[in-house]
């Protein structure tokens, strides 16, 4: 039995959910106030027989025990699966040798011991100078303890020696990034003569450290190197403190430095995190988006340091964020850019004038608006070459916009900055390639095909009928034991890159199997399985490979497009029919105001069904 199936079968959904809400179990189907939105009457219902849940209120969410845990705890599919497996007493075996899948408990424990050591050195006489430095930045010893600061001393006393006294093996300390081997074979501390800063993950575990020089030596900051526990590209510093506030406010503020985050939280700006570098990665955007959109439309504000706002590296980083957003897979999120007033860094701005910094956040402008204006200042717009360079620097960003209205607006803005007409502007920019962006990169699954009409040996002939039959679908997927319709759509999009545009906008909730939903969401986020396989876990990775290697019924590109379109339509119809069926059953148990409220809500799936049946979706 696959781990997903075993977790579902051995997890009592009523018991799991009752840990988070007060359930009314007087009826066959327990109900409660929805944990995902505010309401007066209970609209959250559990169906123990099917192991599912559904909210009939404004959020209209639903799923199984895994999807509940993902949403409630803001976990990835793999994290939720592991959480529930541990709860059910299922031993999660490490079945392969991928470095990302090795247990990190020993590394976390080593980091915890290191934290105790660093703090003890900060409090000792050797830490007097460091405490003076912190005091100058408005940080007393209580704040230092609260925010996980410490001292890695230089001299004879070493962390490596302390770890030996605590029976931490050198190999574990090395794997945690705390020590490194010298040329003569001896061990030395990774950090010496530096202020240390704990870096915790969303589960509040110490996974690494930042370390600031105290004597002016370079580099100014060091981080723990890449380890099985620490991946700089996916971690947001301070998210363990900020997650709840971000979800409550639907807004996240991203700064660059550790001290910026600490100053912000100490002054009441509790939704602030740091990217630990100039660039914000796609994985970091995903993490922030999950929290910022928990209660609706969300905003991410990138607050730039005053000394980096015009640097080329920062411009490239902002363009990278724009490219990530242009994929369209992060729904309901807007990214803006803010600059602290007075040319100050966030740390200094917050400590000197918190109200002014708050005002600068309120004045944040949309990311692309900021980029276009910033790029205009890099060129001499009095010369033809300057205008051409500016226009060609901006054009790729505008072409990536999928909304025609916004695209026209940005062409107009760019033309005004360049003091030329839109027609003239468009005539001098390099046109995008005629081939679709969607087919320009390698596919998500192994053996992915770029063209739906690619031949597959004896199956290369195109079928005579206009549509792939349900019998053929069943024959292809009859060994999966899963949801045939969902898995057929996944097989199509995992194998055929040029079908991406026909399915990418489909809401993931149309998948009712949590593993299929998680796989579809992962596919929406990346063209290449290898980029995110560590996030999927072994079960999903194995399933994605299996679906990507299935032989599809013979067809050509046009019919594959029709097949995907039909799959999306059928999943949409099934989704709304199920909601309507559950609503009808629920009517039997309600009366008065609750019944009237549910009747009003039932109009939405009714209308959606009508659109599906009339082809107006």
- Mean pLDDT across the stretch 238-245? 94
Give the mean model confidence (pLDDT) for residues 220-247: 92
SS (H, E, C) 240-269: HHHHHHHHHHCEEEEECCHHHHHHHHHCCC
**Distance of alpha carbon 460 from alpha carbon 480, whole angstroms:** 24
Binning pLDDT at 50, 70 and 90, where does residue 471 land?
Answer: very low
**Overall fold of domain 103-223:** DNA primase DNAg catalytic core, N-terminal domain (3.90.980)
- Interval 348-375 mean pLDDT: 93
- Inform me whether the pLDDT recorded for 578 exceeds 50: yes
Q: Topology of 3-87 in CATH?
A: DNA Primase; Chain A (3.90.580)
CATH hierarchy code of domain 239-367: 3.40.1360.10
Counting every residue written for the chain, the total comes to 617
Q: How far is CA 482 from the centre of its chain?
A: 27
The pTM of this model reads 0.62
Residue 582: CB atoms within 10 Å: 18
* More reliable by pLDDT, 163 or 184: 163
Using CB atoms within 10 Å of the CB of residue 301, give its burial: 0 to 12 exposed, 13 to 18 middle, 19+ buried: buried
Query: 79 pLDDT exceeds 90?
Result: no
What pLDDT was estimated at residue 409?
Answer: 93
User: Any idea where the domains of the chain sit in the sequence?
Assistant: 3-87, 103-223, 239-367, 379-428, 457-610
Q: Which long-range contacts (CB under 8 A, 24 or more apart) does 305-309 make?
A: 305/255, 305/256, 305/257, 305/345, 305/346, 306/339, 306/340, 306/343, 306/344, 306/345, 307/345, 308/256, 308/278, 309/339, 309/374
Distance in angstroms between the alpha carbons of the first and the last residue of the chain: 38
pLDDT beyond 50 at 223: yes
pLDDT for the residue 544: 83
pLDDT score recorded for residue 307: 61
Q: Which helix (H) or strand (E) covers residue 177, if one does?
A: none
Distance between CA atoms of residues 23 and 280, nearest Å: 41
Residue 404: is its pLDDT beyond 70? yes
pLDDT at residue 527, as a whole number: 54
- Predicted confidence at residue 141, as pLDDT, reads 97
Mean pLDDT, rounded, for 515-533: 71
Beta bridge partners of 333: 298
pLDDT at 206: 96
The tokens describing 368, both together, are 């692309």
Query: Is the model's pLDDT at 86 over the cut of 80?
Result: yes
- Mean pLDDT, the chain, as a whole number? 81
For residue 598, name the pLDDT band (cuts at 50, 70, 90). very low
pLDDT average, residue stretch 437-455: 40
Q: What's the pLDDT band for 539 if we cut at 50, 70, 90? A: confident
Q: Which helix (H) or strand (E) holds 499?
A: none
Give dist(CA 540, CA 226) in Å, integer. Answer: 24
**Which pLDDT value is given to residue 306?**
65
pLDDT in tens, 29-53: 898 999 988 888 888 999 888 888 9
Whether the pLDDT of residue 604 is over 90: the answer is: no
Residue 450 has pLDDT above 60, yes or no: no
Q: In this predicted structure, which of 152-166, 427-441, 553-567 has the lowest mean pLDDT? A: 427-441
Q: What pLDDT is stored for residue 452 in this prediction? A: 42
């Amino acid at each position: 039995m696959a781990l997903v199936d075993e977790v579902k079968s051995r997890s009592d959904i009523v018991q799991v959910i009752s840990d988070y809400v007060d359930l009314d179990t007087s009826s066959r189907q327990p109900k409660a106030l929805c944990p995902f939105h505010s309401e007066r009457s209970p609209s959250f219902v559990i169906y123990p027989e099917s192991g599912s849940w559904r909210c009939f209120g404004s959020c209209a969410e639903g799923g199984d025990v895994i999807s509940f845990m993902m949403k409630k705890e803001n976990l990835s599919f793999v994290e939720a699966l592991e959480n529930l497996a541990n709860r059910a007493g299922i031993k999660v075996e490490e079945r392969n040798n991928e470095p990302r899948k090795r247990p990190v408990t020993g590394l976390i424990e080593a980091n915890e011991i290191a934290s105790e050591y660093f703090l003890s050195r900060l409090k000792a006489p050797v830490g007097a100078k460091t405490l003076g430095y912190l005091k100058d930045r408005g940080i007393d010893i209580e704040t230092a303890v609260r925010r996980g600061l410490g001292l890695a001393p230089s001299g004879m006393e070493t962390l490596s020696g302390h770890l030996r006294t605590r029976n931490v093996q050198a190999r574990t300390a090395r794997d945690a990034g705390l020590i490194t081997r010298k040329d003569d074979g001896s061990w030395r501390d990774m950090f010496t003569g530096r202020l240390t800063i704990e870096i915790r993950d969303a589960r509040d575990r110490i996974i690494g450290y930042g370390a600031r020089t105290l004597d002016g030596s370079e580099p100014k900051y060091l981080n723990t190197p890449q380890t099985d526990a620490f991946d700089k590209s996916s971690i947001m510093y301070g998210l363990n403190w900020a997650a709840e506030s971000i979800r409550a406010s639907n807004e996240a503020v991203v700064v660059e430095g550790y001290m910026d985050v600490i100053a912000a939280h100490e002054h009441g700006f509790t939704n602030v995190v740091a990217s630990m570098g100039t660039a914000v990665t796609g994985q970091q955007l995903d993490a922030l988006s999950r929290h910022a959109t928990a209660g609706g439309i969300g905003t991410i504000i990138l607050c730039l340091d005053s000394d980096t706002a015009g640097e080329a590296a920062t411009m490239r980083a902002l363009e990278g964020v724009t490219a990530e957003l242009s994929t369209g897979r992060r729904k309901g999120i807007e990214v803006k850019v803010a600059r602290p007033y007075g040319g100050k860094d966030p740390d200094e701005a917050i400590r000197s004038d918190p109200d002014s910094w708050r005002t600068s956040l309120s004045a944040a402008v949309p990311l692309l608006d900021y980029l276009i204006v910033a790029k205009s200042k890099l060129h001499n717009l009095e010369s033809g070459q300057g205008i051409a360079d500016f226009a060609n620097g901006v054009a790729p960003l505008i072409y990536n916009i999928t909304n025609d209205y916004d695209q026209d607006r940005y062409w107009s803005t760019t033309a005004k900055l360049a003091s030329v007409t839109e027609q003239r502007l468009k005539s001098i920019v390099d046109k995008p390639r005629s081939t679709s962006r969607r087919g320009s990169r390698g596919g998500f699954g192994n053996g992915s095909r770029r063209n739906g009409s690619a031949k597959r040996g004896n199956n290369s002939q195109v079928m005579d009928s206009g549509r792939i039959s349900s019998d053929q679908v069943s024959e292809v997927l009859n060994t999966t034991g899963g949801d045939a319709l969902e898995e057929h759509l996944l097989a199509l999009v995992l194998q055929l890159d040029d079908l991406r545009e026909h399915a990418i906008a489909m809401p993931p909730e149309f998948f009712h199997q949590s593993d299929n939903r998680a796989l579809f969401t992962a596919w929406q986020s990346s063209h290449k399985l290898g980029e995110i396989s560590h996030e999927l876990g072994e079960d999903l990775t194995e399933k994605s490979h299996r679906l990507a290697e299935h032989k599809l019924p013979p067809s050509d590109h046009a019919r594959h497009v029709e097949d995907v379109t039909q799959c999306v339509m059928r999943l949409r119809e099934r989704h709304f029919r199920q909601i309507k069926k559950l609503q009808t059953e629920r009517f039997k148990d309600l009366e008065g105001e609750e019944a009237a409220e549910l009747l009003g809500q039932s109009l939405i799936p009714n209308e959606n069904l009508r659109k599906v049946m009339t082809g107006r979706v």
